[in-house]
Amino acid sequence: MNTTVNRRNFILLVARNSRIFVKSERSSWKPLNHFTCKYAHSGVNFPEKSGPKDYLISTNPERNQLPTEKLITGSESKTVHSDNSDNRSNMSSTATITATSSGIPAMNKEAKAGLSAGYNAFEHPQIKATLSQIAHIAPRFALRSGDAKVLSSPAQFYALLKEKIASAKKRIFLATLYIGKQEHEFISCLDKALDQNNDLELYILTDALRGTREAPDTCTASLLAPLVSKHGSNRVHLRMYHTPNLYGLRKQYIPQRFNEGWGLQHMKLYGFDDEIILSGANLSLDYFTNRQDRYILFKSSKLTDYFYKIHQAISTLSYEVVPLSKDKNPAGFKLTWPNHPSIIPEPIEDPATFIQKATETLFQLLRPEMSETSRKTSSLANDEVSELGEVEHDKDVLTYVYPISQFSQLLLPDTSTELTVLSRVLSMLGTDQFNWTLTAGYFNIHPLFSEKLLKTSPQHADVITAAPQANGFFRSPGVSGALPGAYSFLARNFLHSIITKGKGDKIKLHEWSKGIVNVADGWSYHAKGLWIACPNQPNPCMTVIGSSNYTRRAYSHDLESNLLIVTSDPDLQQQFGNEVANLKVHCKEMSLDDYEADDRRPDWKQKLFVRFMGDKM
């Protein structure tokens, strides 16, 4: 029996793992997103079209087969059955909608319960196909509900760091660009943890150029060196990575700060025993107080072990920080090469051989074979990848994570996984009306990513970047002071492309600001990430978290490590939704007119800066 109802009377099924489809008497079945409607916590807004139309709502458009449904007339409801009762076994839940006088249905408790079941991302055909491809590129790990927790503020991040340092039993491993020269409290936390637990070992990896920039004055290296003096090099392992791109005359003549444009250790990995925090934040006062970033805690021994292996591999390719007395060296430290030149030469002495050895060290770590190897005997017994790469998992697995890294300066040939995987993900966005949000504090999006984003047809999408006054380089002395204007110029160009492509009604550009950086109560913005929601779904089911700014520089010069997360866990999806909403609180939607204001119009210096320094930004 086929049933049609008046446009103010609705048939609705809220079913997990299903999309909602709509059919009028004069049209074929179409996904609900083809109409002007939204599927959200507050209710389901059905098409507001002029003229009388009848609509039939179902989760199964095949052959007009309808499972048991709720027919709503006004505030009354009754159950309508189709002739094909076998379809009822496919339903996870049903929900009753009470129609309001305005024609917009209000969602009752049953409906909310249906939504709380979460959307099964692994059943979406395009996500499934994309994950099949990624399964042959990058490692993959399974998480259960509660294994991931999203933080929202710098204060939460700092409090959690101190908590995990204090409770660590066996190991703490930290990878960051630098540790702020005022972070005496943070160093004290590490010192105290080592004092209280003789079994604890500390591994810290930072960048050699950024971490010694201020020497012989206080810098990252001089702050950390006393920990080695006190606790010994067998318990405190300090390494500083130096890019092989800076050697010879470049090394000799390019001044400090400028030389960092040739490559940095940019990963942000904060591991404690069997837990790890992935973030875009470094370890300094502003990141702990008034610099907005992203942070996710993962409780997974296998995932943590994987990133520990990445940390250790880069550490073997790095200089060791050795403490010295002030009378021997005013800086209080020196950098020594811990490897014999015949095994791994210094990057500044023999960069070609160094890269060859680095490739041998890192190649296997990036491969999918680094996925969990004990599936057969673990409780996740059915968590496997088939020969076709399709994800097969048992009902307990709600979340999969894929570590993706970009080590282009160390690999020949370049087998980095981040650019490849994200390219696949962004290509997927063009295959359906996926909704997405992209944020980058430093807006210099890789041209390949820009091209793919502009090919998408979302129901809605948002790009969030830092306003000039929320950029950490705002009013900075020297050449770096030109960066906020240059990033603003690039954001304006992207917005112009959006409008030129006729997608200004779907893709919006926002600037984040909260006061003025370096002024009382002013914040800066450093968040980076991608969130993806399936059509008509209120919350993202995919996100990318990590160190990358998605810039040209990230995919050519720096070391980056990130995590692609795909989840059907309703709680985690809600956390992702809340994370995006939290970032949008301080956002302003931008128009091209905004960029024509006297203080925003790009001048020739900004254009010249972008032209010649674009790949270093």
Tell me which residues are annotated as active site.
Answer: 266, 268, 273
Yes or no: say if 589 and 544 are a contact pair by the CB < 8 Å rule.
Answer: no
Two tokens at 39? 């599927």
Distance CA 325, CA 551 (A): 41
CA distance 374 to 73: 54
Spatial CB neighbours of 608, under 8 Å, sequence gap ≥ 6: none
For residue 130, give every residue at least 6 positions away whose Cβ sits within 8 Å of its Cβ, in sequence order, or none: 424, 425, 427, 428
Tokens (6 digits) for 143:
């998480």
Paired residues of 464 in beta bridges: 439, 510
Task: Return phi, psi of residue 51, to 5°.
Answer: 90, 155
Alpha-carbon span 204 to 175, nearest angstrom: 6
148 CB burial (10 A radius; 0-12, 13-18, 19+): buried
- Rounded Cα distance, 310 and 250, in Å: 28
Number of CB atoms found within 10 A of residue 543's CB = 26
- The DSSP call for residue 610 is H
Structure tokens at 16: 């997990």
CB 264 within 8 A of CB 249: no
The Cα-based distances of 130 to 389, 429, 505 in angstroms read: 10, 10, 27
